[in-house]
């Protein structure tokens, strides 16, 4: 079982759709919940494209103007939804995990910023949970923290935090520990840190899935981390050699192809010569790719570790202006490398999907 949760901060931003689509293709979740879509009506074709498959169901709450908006997508081969409810701040689906037949309720939340809205949200969720006698999980951006340690360089409102904790206690919810990051939202200028996103489950959900963990993955196109809830790790097998579109964004690839093509090949038959020239191109491209992209994982790892060092330093004492410039520059370099890798992984997933359909 795997559930993704992310505040996308608007699908209309350039590059955001492709980034989320890459997440769906690479992570292959059973269910994905998105907050702050900032979208009005989303049609079936758009959702299928985002998911990378037409074998999915979805429900959405449209944005009001250019704010808000919620979306839940689920894999029809793993989860079958049969009912949905919602209000201004959340949408919920009830369904069954295929294979086990166990029923669950999934609630996607985008909490309001103002005090009156927060009180309304807790009341509405109280009513919803009171009527549920099934395993239930609440996830998303609650726009609220539980403790003062959940904020850094931000105002902490004790009364709001107390109401949030009272809501959790009142409904016997469990706040699953988030691994990987101390905070789930960091402002674009790297100054403000908050833990706004989380997974809350009831005891019945914990009994259904006993081995649960939540990992906060690195931010990229949003100011929020992607949260991944899972009960186990799945290995999808070895990777294969392919020709990737991303290669052609790299300087020098045309010269590799031309040089390989003009190499002499032996043989009297034109079709054999053509075949051997293609082999030359393939072998030379493989060697070139290993040189240019073979270390990309290591480069990404190094850049991510450096970004984490800067973030940890900021969380525990602040950065100088010079350090902040270096931090943001390192993050920019990491994102460029990550995008390059994501594009190649997305193409691999697309090729695998097309090959599986052909069989």
CA distances from 182 to 2, 196, 229 (A): 21, 11, 16
pLDDT exceeds cutoff 60 at 186 = yes
pLDDT exceeds cutoff 50 at 355 = no
pLDDT exceeds cutoff 60 at 359 = no
**Residues 44, 47, 48, 52, Cα dihedral to 10°:** 180
pLDDT exceeds cutoff 60 at 268 = no
Q: Identify the CA nearest to 339 among candidates 6, 3, 14.
A: 14
Predicted confidence band at 6 (pLDDT cuts at 50, 70, 90)?
very high
Average pLDDT over the chain, rounded to whole? Answer: 82
pLDDT of residue 58: 93
Residue 205 structure tokens? 């959900």
Superfamily of domain 2-230: Endonuclease/exonuclease/phosphatase (3.60.10.10)
Q: What is the pTM of this model?
A: 0.67
For the segment 155-172, what is each residue's pLDDT rounded down to a tens digit?
999 999 999 999 999 998
Give dist(CA 348, CA 325) in Å, integer. 35
Kindly provide the b/e burial profile for residues 242-277, where b requires at least 16 CB atoms within 10 angstroms of the residue's own CB. Answer: eebebbeeeeebeebbeebeeeeeeeeeeeeeeeeb
For the segment 203-229, what is each residue's pLDDT rounded down to a tens digit?
888 888 877 889 888 777 788 989 999
> How many C-beta atoms lie closer than 10 Å to residue 143's C-beta?
24
Q: Identify the CA nearest to 42 among candidates 63, 15, 66.
A: 63
Residue 182 structure tokens? 């101390």
């Amino acid at each position: 079982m795997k559930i993704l949760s992310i505040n996308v901060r608007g699908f209309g931003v350039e590059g955001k759709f492709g980034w989320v689509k890459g997440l769906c293709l690479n992570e292959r979740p059973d269910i994905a919940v998105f907050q702050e879509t900032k979208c009005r009506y989303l049609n079936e074709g758009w959702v299928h494209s985002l998911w990378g498959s037409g074998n999915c169901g979805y429900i959405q709450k449209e944005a009001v103007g250019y704010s808000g908006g919620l979306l839940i997508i689920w894999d029809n081969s793993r989860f079958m939804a049969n009912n949905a409810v919602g209000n201004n701040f959340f949408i919920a689906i009830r369904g069954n995990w295929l294979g086990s037949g166990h029923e669950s309720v999934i609630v996607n939340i985008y909490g309001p910023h103002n005090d009156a809205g927060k009180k309304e949200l807790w009341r509405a969720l109280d009513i919803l949970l009171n009527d549920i006698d099934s395993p239930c999980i609440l996830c998303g951006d609650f726009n609220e923290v539980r403790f003062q340690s959940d904020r850094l360089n931000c105002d902490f409102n004790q009364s709001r935090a107390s109401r949030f904790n009272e809501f959790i206690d009142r409904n016997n919810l469990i706040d699953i520990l988030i691994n990987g990051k101390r905070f789930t939202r960091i402002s674009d200028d790297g100054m403000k840190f908050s833990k706004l996103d989380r997974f809350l489950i009831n005891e019945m959900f914990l009994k259904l899935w006993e081995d649960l963990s939540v990992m906060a993955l690195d931010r990229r196109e949003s100011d929020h981390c992607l949260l991944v809830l899972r009960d186990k790790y799945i290995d999808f097998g070895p990777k294969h050699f392919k020709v990737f579109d991303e290669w052609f964004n790299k300087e020098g690839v045309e010269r590799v192809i031309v040089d390989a093509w003009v190499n002499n090949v032996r043989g009297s038959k034109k079709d054999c010569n053509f075949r051997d020239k293609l082999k030359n191109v393939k072998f030379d491209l493989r060697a070139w790719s290993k040189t240019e992209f073979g270390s990309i994982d290591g480069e990404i790892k190094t850049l991510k570790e450096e970004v984490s060092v800067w973030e940890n330093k900021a969380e525990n004492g602040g950065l100088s202006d010079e350090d902040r410039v270096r931090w943001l520059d390192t993050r920019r370099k990491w994102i460029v490398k990550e995008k390059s890798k994501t594009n190649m992984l997305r193409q691999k997933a697309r090729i695998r999907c097309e090959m599986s359909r052909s069989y």
